[in-house]
Amino acid sequence: MEFRLNDRQRELVELAGRLGREKFAPRAAEIDRDARFPFENYADMREAGLLALCVPKEYGGLGADYETYCLVAAEIGRHCGATALTLNMHSCAMMWSGDLVDALPLTAEQRARHHAHRGRHYERVVRDGAIYAQPFSEGNAAASGRAAFETTAVKVDGGWLINGRKVFASLSGAANYYGLLCTEEKPGQEHDRRDTMYIVAPANAPGVSVVGDWDPLGMRGTVSRTLILKDVFVPEDEELMPPGVYHAAALSWPHMFMTMTPTYMGIAQAAVDFTRGYLRGEIPGMPPIKRRNIVTKQLAVAEMQIKLEQAHALFRRAISEASYQPSKEQRLRAYATQYTVMEFANDICRLAIRTCGGHSMLKSLPLERLYRDSRCGALMLPWTAEICLERVGRESLYESGETD
Ligand SMILES: Cc1cc2nc3c(=O)[nH]c(=O)nc-3n(C[C@H](O)[C@H](O)[C@H](O)COP(=O)(O)OP(=O)(O)OC[C@H]3O[C@@H](n4cnc5c(N)ncnc54)[C@H](O)[C@@H]3O)c2cc1C
């Protein structure tokens, strides 16, 4: 397979690369040290139109499709992992309510309802440069898709009353809007995953608060604190998907859960870039000592490069296959891609530190940050490394609905 960028993709990737090199990379160490949200990077992305990357063109956005989004996000991840990961949470609100829902077979009534609502979200992003977050995780089995969300939505006059608690809410305190997954409470009925709602609470709505501290190992700029929702009233038109549609999307559009891989693809590339520069004596601020003539270092670079090529080949293929109801082979490849990119990114960073040596671990250089950031990829629900392995194994051996 040949993976060429089309003109639009090249243009957007170059834009992301320019911002990344000139703005994001020089700020990354300070954002990481202070574990603070990269507001300046968001101001730059807002000005460049990248906050509306996944807003459909007819609503004034850049109209990037899934593949284009992934290519741009990987380029940003190369320069600042936390900016790429948070841009993922932001952009998914637009991508999922845009292209993804457009591909689903909704009823005419659902479609009309969706079109009536989604424009308000897109307008906020395009016109006001608003930032959206995607706090789904609750520290229970819901984010992995095995149980209903414990955050609830109760129907009241004109809207919904939301109650719950979301953990690891990236962009907490920075986002203007929180896109929440919660379960519609139906009188006399058990909570059911099919009743999952995807709805937005404004950050300044009464009853929304952010609690807990944030001093983690990696991805420190994501500021993923705990979000509390206490009797938060949300008007009906804040929906990002009509009721019931999220569950259908999760079953039939699996690549929607693969959108964090670009961040880690970018980190893996950055570790290889750094190692090459370091061993060639080309890192600014370091003595120009070449360390490339030692065979063990050459072998380590070769191993890193081979892993990068393997991950990249899978990544490019999987992002070109994202669609409604992909084939079984494509679905398995999506799990394999997420697993490979997340595990290889961390392994490539490990090899980079090992072969560059002690100086490369200094805080004045980016490698130790890449190493710490890369550790987070395999933990991201719903497709953690273990869950991907489990799915590849089970779904290879069992057809849908098959039991022993
Ligand atoms: C930097 C960062 C940013 C984040 N941002 C967001 C965000 O914006 N929004 C959001 O919703 N979440 C976010 N998360 C949360 C993330 O997606 C996970 O929900 C969280 O890391 C899980 O933490 P946990 O302590 O519950 O671990 P667990 O989920 O218990 O995971 C620990 C181990 O158990 C395994 N495991 C867990 N469940 C299963 C299962 N069902 N089957 C098999 N193995 C399983 C995992 O693979 C892992 O190895 C973020 C996390 C981090 C680290």
Q: Read off the pLDDT of residues 154-191 as tens digits, 9 standing for 90 and up.
A: 999 999 999 999 999 999 999 999 999 999 999 899 99
**In this structure, are residues 210 and 170 in contact, taking their beta carbons and an 8 Å threshold?**
no
Hey, whose CA ends up nearest to atom 25 of ligand 1? 139
Residue 391: which of 201, 191, 144 has the closest Cα? 144
Cα(175) to centroid(ligand 1), Å: 21
DSSP letter string, 283-296: -TTS-----TT-HH
**In this structure, are residues 270 and 346 in contact, taking their beta carbons and an 8 Å threshold?**
no
Mutate to test the pocket of ligand 1, among 91, 151, 170 (most ligand atoms within 8 A of CB): 170
| Assigned CATH for 253-397 | 1.20.140.10
Question: 247 pLDDT band (50/70/90 cuts)?
Answer: very high
Mean pLDDT value across residues 354-365:
92
Confidence at residue 159, expressed as pLDDT on a 0 to 100 scale: 95
Percentage of residues of the chain with pLDDT beyond 70? 100
Residue 134: which of 99, 98, 166 has the closest Cα? 166
| Assigned CATH for 152-242 | 2.40.110.10
Hey, whose CA ends up nearest to atom 1 of ligand 1? 219
Question: 2 pLDDT band (50/70/90 cuts)?
Answer: low
| CA–CA dist 377, 268 (Å, integer) | 11
Residue boundaries of the structural domains of the chain = 7-131, 152-242, 253-397
Cα(139) to centroid(ligand 1), Å: 7
Hey, whose CA ends up nearest to atom 33 of ligand 1? 379
Hey, whose CA ends up nearest to atom 53 of ligand 1? 376
pLDDT higher than threshold 70 for residue 401? yes
Give the H/E segment covering residue 339: helix 328-356
Q: Which residues contact 236 (CB under 8 A, 6 or more apart)?
A: 158, 159, 160
Mean pLDDT value across residues 62-83:
98
Token duo for residue 250: 């999760």
pLDDT tens digit string along 251-268? Answer: 999 999 999 999 999 999
Query: Could you tell me which residues are beta bridge partners of residue 181?
Result: 198
pLDDT higher than threshold 90 for residue 143? no
Residue 288: which of 275, 297, 279, 300 has the closest Cα? 279
**In this structure, are residues 131 and 175 in contact, taking their beta carbons and an 8 Å threshold?**
yes
Q: Which residues contact 146 (CB under 8 A, 6 or more apart)?
A: none
Q: At what angle do helices 66-77 and 295-320 cross, to 10 degrees?
A: 150
Give the CA angle between residues 257, 258, 264 to the nearest 5°. Answer: 135
pLDDT higher than threshold 70 for residue 270? yes
DSSP letter string, 172-224: TTT-SEEEEEEEEP-TT----GGGEEEEEEETTSTTEEEES----SS-GGG--
Mutate to test the pocket of ligand 1, among 381, 387, 392 (most ligand atoms within 8 A of CB): 381
Residue 273: which of 308, 299, 319 has the closest Cα? 308
Question: 400 pLDDT band (50/70/90 cuts)?
Answer: confident
Confidence at residue 144, expressed as pLDDT on a 0 to 100 scale: 86
Atom number of ligand 1 nearest to Cα 141? 41
| CA–CA dist 264, 281 (Å, integer) | 25
Confidence at residue 285, expressed as pLDDT on a 0 to 100 scale: 84
Calculate the alpha carbon distances from 322 to 14, 74, 114, 245 in Å: 23, 16, 22, 18
Mutate to test the pocket of ligand 1, among 379, 391, 395 (most ligand atoms within 8 A of CB): 379
* Residue-averaged pLDDT of the chain: 96
Residue 43 — φ and ψ, nearest 5°?
Answer: -65, -40
- Assigned superfamily of 7-131: Acyl-CoA dehydrogenase/oxidase, N-terminal domain (1.10.540.10)
| CA–CA dist 254, 28 (Å, integer) | 32
pLDDT tens digit string along 280-315? Answer: 999 988 888 888 999 999 999 999 999 999 999 999
pLDDT higher than threshold 80 for residue 72? yes
**In this structure, are residues 98 and 56 in contact, taking their beta carbons and an 8 Å threshold?**
yes
Residue 88: which of 133, 49, 124 has the closest Cα? 133
pLDDT higher than threshold 80 for residue 1? no
Token duo for residue 244: 């019931």
pLDDT tens digit string along 5-31? Answer: 999 999 999 999 999 999 999 999 999
**CA gyration radius for the chain?**
21
Mean pLDDT value across residues 59-75:
98
| CA–CA dist 332, 326 (Å, integer) | 10
**In this structure, are residues 51 and 42 in contact, taking their beta carbons and an 8 Å threshold?**
yes
Cα end-to-end distance, the chain, whole Å: 38
**In this structure, are residues 244 and 195 in contact, taking their beta carbons and an 8 Å threshold?**
yes
84: how many CB neighbours lie within 10 A of its CB?
A: 30
